[in-house]
Amino acid sequence: MHDPQELLKDGPQAVRRLARRRHDLDPAALADALRERNGAQAEVTRLRTELNRTARARRSGPPTEEEKASARALRTEVQRAEAAARTAAAHLTELLLSVPNIPLDAVPDGDSEKETVEIRRGGPAPRPADGARHHADIGESLGILDGPAAARLSGARFAVARGAGARLERALRDFLLDLHTREHGYTEQSVPFLVDRDTMTGTGQLPKFEDDLFRTQVGERELFLIPTAEVPLTNLVAGRLLDSRSLPLAFTACTPCFRAEAGAYGRDTRGILRLHQFEKVELVRVCAPEDAPAQLELMVNHAEECLKRLELAHRVVLLPAGDLGFSARMTYDVEVWLPGSGSYREISSVSDCGTFQARRADIRVKRPDGSRTPAVTLNGSALPIGRTVAALLEQGVREDGSVVLPEALVPYTGFRRILPGGDTA
């Protein structure tokens, strides 16, 4: 959570500029709430001082009935002022929990694709979009994706993969986890898929995005289905004081992710690009503040390496301020080419969250000189299984309808080609 004094220290003009860059910030409401909280606290201090002064003044003898009544009235005023101060503090906290992270100066202004800065391209030359097939059509013709079965089971925005398709998903999970643990130095974690409200709040999903979350209620116990493994992975160190000499920490996990997609009505209704449930390999790093820039670049390289090994055309872009995720202060998107839609689509967002999540989750760093500071957290997808399957199908399909997979996956799948009808070779 932000320090309100720090957020407002550069004055109204700076806050208004921030509001232009991050459109979900109301600087006037924030200033009013801070003023209300400070005023309420000052009133509590004044009344307590007065109560203490009157108590000291009557120590020379027993209090009179008038003095007793006055003291009772003053104590009542103190209690009312304390209640008002708690309410004002709670209102400020609620507001601060809904204020997004502050973009770094290196992040461009804007909130659309035209302000996105392309950094580089990689992989083979993109296949032409003319005449290209959509992954849903390819998967159904191969017999490895069954949209109607998913709809019968759960309704819209769910998927069923079968045969070689299910094997391909399992191969991708193992390939990506092996790459990150054996070559990139991440420690694999097996984490809960259901977490409590505090855990969701620590990484910024609550209270801002409650409508996008699936929630369970058993008796009085409330738990949320995770939208990404970033949530449990980051919170593994919540409330901890980390020795700076042990940093950076690097975690990875493959988990199902559950998202209501409340704001995505009508978008990507075909295929497996935008589902209520999907699997994703997530990367999380925790470091000291001064190491954040290098750690961000390292994570982008780790995400991009997945696409290079999978022989997929892609590009890396820097997002503008208005397109950043709530908790991010800087984000690179790695976008994969999907010829079926003739566009690059995000397959990994790698974000530097600064101390934003660490302040909310109370993750601190202790330095050799004994000083303490909030940690920096970073996270990124590497990669979502469904979107990677879609890219492999659209970029790997051949004229005979078969799909050729990259050589790196063969040890995991046991086959190089998926044939029409679901056979493999």
Return the bridge partners of 318, or none.
Answer: 117, 332
Annotated catalytic residue within 381, 387, 394, 402: 387
Q: Is 43 a catalytic residue?
A: no
User: Quick check: 383 and 285 in contact, CB under 8 A?
Assistant: no
Specify burial of residue 115 (Cβ count, 10 A radius: 0-12, 13-18, 19+).
Answer: middle
Structure token digits, residue 423: 């056979």
Single out the catalytic residue among 349, 351, 381, 402: 349
DSSP-derived secondary structure for 128-184: PSTTPPPHHHHHHHHT-B-HHHHHHHH-SS---B-THHHHHHHHHHHHHHHIIIIIS
Contact, 126 vs 337, CB < 8 A? Answer: yes
CA–CA separation, 40 vs 47, rounded Å? Answer: 11
C-beta of residue 378 within 8 angstroms of C-beta of residue 295:
yes
Is 348 one of the annotated active-site residues of the chain?
no
C-alpha span between 87 and 337 (Å, rounded): 51
Q: Is 346 a catalytic residue?
A: yes
Single out the catalytic residue among 274, 345, 364, 416: 274
Q: Which of 60, 391, 373 is nearest to 247 (CA)?
A: 373
Out of 37, 157, 167, 259, the active site residue is: 259
3-state secondary structure of 85: helix
Catalytic status, residue 16:
no
Nearest to 111 by CA among 100, 121, 123: 100
Selected catalytic residue, list 127, 346, 364, 416: 346
Q: Is 349 a catalytic residue?
A: yes
Q: How far apart are CA 135 and CA 149, in angstroms?
A: 17
Residues involved in catalysis? 259, 274, 346, 349, 387
